[in-house]
């Protein structure tokens, strides 16, 4: 009826808005990574801040032009949302492992590039078709990301042990110190068990548990019931995540976050 079409219209509009917002943020993020983590350290070491900012803008325009050129490719909204989510998924290992372990920056970059390449490659290979055996390009890319990241990190640590001095590596060898290890405190919220249970329950509810595999799903406003339920529950999941970030997590008062500015005056 009219109510179903209204709900579906709102959900689709919200999905498109979220897709465009995330795509814009991802575009700015990858242009910054390209300029600051690739060009600045290896290709243009003496670049000034204004030049790097101009390079970020140019790279963003180049990627946008490529995206406009790909508009001729027949891609549905479902495929766009799936690809956008799959690419954002490749950043997850950097966040989870970076909070609790020490990661070598080239290893993290290698895993990220491998995951993105595999995801895009699998998506392009099965363009317009459903991958067999329930294959999900984002999950395949995530597995490749983790394998490359772990392999590169293990190789780096093995090479570091063979250096003169063994484990006594300097702080500027490309490592990113884990905040949790540096602050020596629990980074999860105080009620993290209850919060984790709520999030897992919402994720489980997104599965089409109410019907048998292969059975035809009913339509609500032109969309299957499972998609409507998943979109609605994803909104609740986003609200729960925002609540956990704003209320359950507490800002740290550790002295590391409040180190005084060193005195650089010259005594005559």
Q: Are 44 and 59 in contact (CB under 8 A)?
A: no
CA-CA distances (angstroms) from residue 221 to 2, 79, 130, 133, 233? 8, 20, 24, 29, 17
- Cross-strand pairs, 224: 219
- The tens digit of pLDDT for each residue in 60-77 reads 888 778 777 666 666 666
Question: Phi and psi dihedrals of 43, rounded to 5?
Answer: -110, -30
- The tens digit of pLDDT for each residue in 155-183 reads 888 887 777 655 544 444 545 444 444 44
Q: What is the pTM of this model?
A: 0.52
Share of residues in the chain with pLDDT > 70 (%): 63
d(CA 78, CA 66): 20
Tokens of 204: 């489980």
Burial of 36 (0-12, 13-18, 19+ CB in 10 A): middle
Residue 190's pLDDT is 54
Q: Are 26 and 63 in contact (CB under 8 A)?
A: no
- The residue ranges of every structural domain in the chain are 10-73, 75-160, 186-211+220-249
Residue 78's pLDDT is 66
Instruction: Give the residues of the chain that fall short of pLDDT 70.
Output: 1, 4, 69-82, 84, 98-100, 127-128, 134, 164-192, 195, 206-211, 213-214, 220-222, 244-245, 247-268
């Amino acid at each position: 009826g009219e109510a179903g079409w209204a709900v579906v219209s709102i959900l689709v509009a919200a999905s498109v808005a979220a897709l465009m917002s995330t795509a814009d943020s991802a575009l700015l993020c990858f242009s910054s990574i390209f300029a600051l983590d690739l060009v600045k350290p290896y290709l243009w070491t003496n670049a000034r801040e204004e030049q790097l900012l101009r390079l970020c803008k140019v790279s963003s325009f180049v990627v946008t032009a490529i995206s406009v050129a790909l508009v001729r490719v027949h891609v549905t909204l479902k495929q766009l949302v799936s690809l956008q989510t799959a690419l954002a998924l490749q950043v997850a290992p950097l966040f989870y492992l970076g909070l609790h372990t020490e990661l070598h920056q080239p290893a993290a970059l290698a895993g990220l590039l491998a995951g993105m390449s595999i995801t895009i490659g699998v998506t392009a290979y099965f363009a317009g078709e459903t991958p067999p055996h329930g294959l999900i390009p984002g999950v395949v890319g995530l597995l490749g990301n983790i394998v490359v990241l772990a392999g590169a990190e293990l190789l780096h640590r093995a090479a570091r042990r063979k250096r003169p001095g063994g484990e006594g590596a300097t702080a500027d060898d490309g490592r990113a110190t884990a905040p949790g290890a540096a602050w020596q405190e629990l980074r999860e919220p105080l009620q993290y068990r209850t919060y984790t249970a709520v999030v897992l329950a919402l994720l489980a509810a997104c599965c089409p548990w109410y019907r048998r595999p292969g059975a035809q799903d009913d339509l609500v406003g032109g969309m299957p019931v499972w998609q409507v339920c998943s979109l609605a529950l994803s909104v609740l999941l986003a609200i729960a995540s925002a609540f956990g970030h704003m209320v359950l997590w507490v800002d740290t008062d550790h002295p590391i976050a409040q180190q005084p500015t060193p005195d650089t005056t010259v005594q005559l």
